[in-house]
Structure 1
Amino acid sequence: MPSRSLDRDAWVRLAVDILAEEGLAGLRVEALAKRLGVTKGSFYWHFKDRQALLDAVLEEWRTGRIQDCERQAQVSPDRAAEQLRHVMDTYAINPNRKGVMIELAVRDWARRDAAAASAVEQVDEARRNNAAQLFRTAGFADEEAEMRALLLYTHAFGLSMMVFERHGDEVARLHTAIAALIAGSPRN
């Protein structure tokens, strides 16, 4: 098979896919090169070593997640409550399975690696801050917005990581009721 050149992003994209499929252990230079149909030399053209690739994968995940939650928090006040429900439904009831697998792999990685732990902490903080901003935009006071943001985050992401094939309708019904509680009206 003839060698072809790839850009750095192709290596990172494949590494993220493999991270979702196999976890951190699957991110081996030789295995990546084989899947891309290139030599290991192509890898070393773009990365100093495996750690440089791992750093790029973390940065890709971190910036992508933060940009996504910032985008979701940018709504007009008259649409904030609707956006809160949309965010909860997206992550709790209709999660992107590949995204969930990447999330789990990065969080597992963070248990043993300070850089991964830092990336997870930054993403968690951005998600909570942006959810709190949505609640503030919807009319909630700061402290209540912070509490509801944490509830939203733990509910939506916790539920998205659970498997409910046998109880999907019941879970959807419960989620709707829980989301209504979390996004309820501000206290005066």
Structure 2
Amino acid sequence: MKSDKPATREQLGRTEWIAGAIETLADEGMAGMRVEALAKRLGVTKGSFYWHFKDRQDLFTAVLHTWKEGRIRDIDKQSSASEGQQGNQLMLIIDVYSTNRNRKGISIELAVRDWARRDAQAHAVVEEVDTYRLECTRKLFVACGFTDQEAKSRSLLLYAYVFGQSLMAYDRYDPKIIDFKRWIAEHIVSSR
């Protein structure tokens, strides 16, 4: 039975707009982050947008800030290790990145990085996150006894591997792919 009451629209706050923009960025790239398109996708009016944001650039800044804060939180969580467990934590980082095939997360990461290719503000945020990421693993490698220079090289190798393999479709490459990935991880982390 149909109700005579008109459907009420849900109120969206700034946080919901940002979350919707990030989802749209992942699905459609920057082209989908037009105010009118976002409002339609979220089922609200453009007026709702301007209640929460000064302009489109204000939304872009908020999206980048939210992405950066989320990445830094994850990096801190993934790179925290108790004394003597730094090598195990490095292996865990590789394992988390190389086994978690979170397509939405990968889509967001790729969309932000694509945005950073064309926009100075996005580029600066991505560079800040990557530098933070590399520095956290560098510290773990140093705690494992590597020189600072080797720790920097291994940090770069670690992330080149985990991001590179996350973009590949290799499931049918060989039935022993798990063994290959473990071998690679051990070579990145091992002292010799």
Q: Give TM-score, length-normalised by structure 1.
A: 0.91
TM-superposed deviation, 1:172: 2.9
Q: Find runs of 4+ consecutive structure 1 residues off by over 6 angstroms.
A: none
Q: Rg: which structure is higher?
A: 2
Partner residue in 1 for 2:26? 20
For 1:169 and 1:120, how far apart are their aligned partners in 2? 35
Amino acid at match of 2:169: V
Residues 169 and 101 of structure 1: CA distance in aligned 2, closer, same or farther (over 3 Å): farther
Q: Give TM-score, length-normalised by structure 2.
A: 0.90
Amino acid at match of 1:184: S
The answer to whether the Cα contact below 8 Å between 1:85 and 1:183 also exists between their aligned partners in 2 is: yes
Paired residues for 1:74-85 under 5 Å: 74-85=80-91
What is the root-mean-square deviation of aligned Cα atoms in Å?
1.6
Q: How many residues get paired?
A: 186
Amino acid at match of 2:13: D
For 2:186 and 2:41, how far apart are their aligned partners in 1? 46
Identity %, equivalent residues: 51
For 1:104 and 1:171, how far apart are their aligned partners in 2? 24
Structure 1 unpaired stretches of 5+: none
The answer to whether the Cα contact below 8 Å between 2:117 and 2:123 also exists between their aligned partners in 1 is: yes
For 1:100 and 1:145, how far apart are their aligned partners in 2? 26
Richer in helix (by share): 1
Paired residues for 1:1-188 under 5 Å: 1-167=7-173, 169-185=175-191
RCO higher in 1 or 2 (8 Å CA, sep ≥ 6)?
A: 1
Amino acid at match of 2:63: V
Partner residue in 1 for 2:4? none
Amino acid at match of 2:50: Y
The answer to whether the Cα contact below 8 Å between 2:80 and 2:89 also exists between their aligned partners in 1 is: no
Amino acid at match of 2:165: L
